[in-house]
Chains A and B, each alone.
Chain A
Amino acid sequence: MKKLDLTRDLLDMQVVGRDGTKMGRVDGLILELRGDLPPRVDAIEMGFAVLARRMGPRAERWLAKLRRWSVRRTASQRVPWSKVKAIEPHHIQIDLDALETPAFAWEIWLRDHFVAPIEGKREKSG
């Protein structure tokens, strides 16, 4: 049976989507406690909120205050273990399209509100 070191080989790994796009990192893990049986990895978590929680309760509260001002209310994202396709030495492959996920919400918002209008103007005048 192959063993997986959660902190070394899973946590903080680069997460790559179905199309090969970098989606983020494994910021946290959700383990399922099953009584007498050993716990099981239920899902991986991604997002600033997850990182804030790792740093401490004060950081988590501080980030929650900041989020009230943010345009995109991207919560932390949970990816169920069933969606994890492969664990490579330097990244985790998941069976999701990056664009479908909240992880990309900021990316898409920036693209639509800043990049596209500027690029669009350039194409019109150029």
Chain B
Amino acid sequence: MKKALALTLGIVTSIGGFLDMGALATSAQAGASYRFQLLWTIGLATLLVIFLVEMSGRFAAATRKALPDAIREHFGFTFWLVPFFVLSLSHLLVLGTEIGGICFALHLVSGLPTSFWALPVGVLLVTFLWRSTFNTIEDSTSLLGLITLAFVVAAVSHHPPMKDLLAGFVPTLTAEEPLKYWGIAVSIVGAVLSPYLFYFYSSGAVEDDWDSSFIGVNRGIAALGMGFGSVVAMGALVVAAMVLAPRGIAMDDYHQAALMLTDAFPFWGFLLFAVGLGVACLAASLEVALSMAYATAQTFGWNWGESLDPREDARFGAVYTGAIALSSLIILVGVDPLKLTLLAMATEAAVLPFVALPFLILMNDRKLLKEHANGWISNTVAVIVLLLALVLTVVSIPLALLGGGG
């Protein structure tokens, strides 16, 4: 009974938490510029992330250790230093993106500039983390995130041409302006295969006290949670394809995305977009900030745990506070949220091999995982992820600079 509840909650929170600034921006861009042609990218990236998240959860359940903890212990500090450094860099950029998303949503609703909201939002985030427990944060924000299902409802209500839509799941390798096409494709992969996601997931499993009896539940959450969650991103892509593309509106600025839901919901559409974006980014920013704190505290062996009183793990608290402060600063000085998003997504794609490699090696450690180590299916996916990640590292930043320039 308890497992059934954990499974249901895990799936629901994964659906509500799937969309974030990165996934929304890249999906909307894809739909606006290429209609349904890039649906296959979301599908492929989701398939890979299901496997990675399953492995991450299985690892934590079988060893009762989180990833950064286990990697430092197993590989040593000198080896872990480079992945830890690039992971932290990626964390900060993504955190800035998500905070920017909350601020932009508040700007839409209030009319006040995005940068104005940076400080209040930063304070709100730190307060929330300070005073809440892990489960309160995870569950409440992700459940609120279900409002993003509005994108799916809107997509369906537009009656997209099924033939074109299904054709979008078949990879098209040539397109108009190939640099832009592949730039968006890469940024979608970066947005979905977020390094912070599978690192955070392992720490979350330890916070939730998972043991090896949760491995089945984990499989369900990974497959169904991520799977259904990706439908929300696909919904955003379809809406952009049906609303923005026909009018010739590309996404050079996030304000253009805010119009997305106004065709399907003439009265509520604008507000739904703002609230959906704000809540989705709220959930994501809390997760990224925590992920940064988990990775840092575990690397240096400090006390950690969101459910602990801040008096017991002050250094852990100091890390997420500092990270939020730094990332809020980026928005405060007026960095454009959309440009920051695209940079963050390219960075995520670029750092993927560094952070995935130690993880995937550990998944084959039979001494550590015993019978839960990777089988040939998981390892095949692992090799695919690593090869893809290596290609992405080389092309992602150049593509972001050359392809996205318009």
Contacts and interface: CB of A to CB of B under 8 A. Distances in A.
A50 B74 CA distance: 18
Contacts of B301: 14-15, 22-25, 46
A111 B310 CA distance: 8
Given A12-B76, A90-B73, A22 B304 contact: yes
What are the 5 closest A-B residue pairs judged by CB atoms, nearest first? A25-B301, A110-B314, A24-B301, A111-B314, A22-B303
B78 interface: yes
B268 interface: no
Given A13-B73, A51-B77, A115 B314 contact: yes
Interface of A: 7, 11-15, 21-25, 27, 46, 51, 54-55, 90, 106-108, 110-111, 114-116, 118-119
A25 B68 CA distance: 13
A14 B315 contact: no
Given A11-B76, A51-B77, A25 B300 contact: yes
B91 interface: no
B58 interface: no
Interface in B281-312: 300-304, 310-311
Interface string B66-88: 00010011001110010000000
Contacts of A14: 69, 73, 301
B318 interface: yes
A111 B81 CA distance: 27
Interface residues of B, number: 21
Contacts of B303: 21-22, 107
B289 to A, nearest CB: 17
Contacts of A90: 65, 73
A34 B142 CA distance: 60
A120 to B, nearest CB: 11
27 contacts: A11-B76, A12-B72, A13-B73, A14-B73, A22-B301, A24-B300, A24-B301, A24-B302, A25-B77, A25-B301, A27-B77, A46-B301, A54-B77, A55-B78, A55-B81, A106-B314, A106-B315, A107-B303, A108-B314, A110-B315, A110-B317, A111-B311, A111-B314, A115-B317, A116-B311, A118-B130, A119-B311
A107 B81 contact: no
A8 B305 CA distance: 26
A76 B228 CA distance: 49
A11 to B, nearest CB: 7
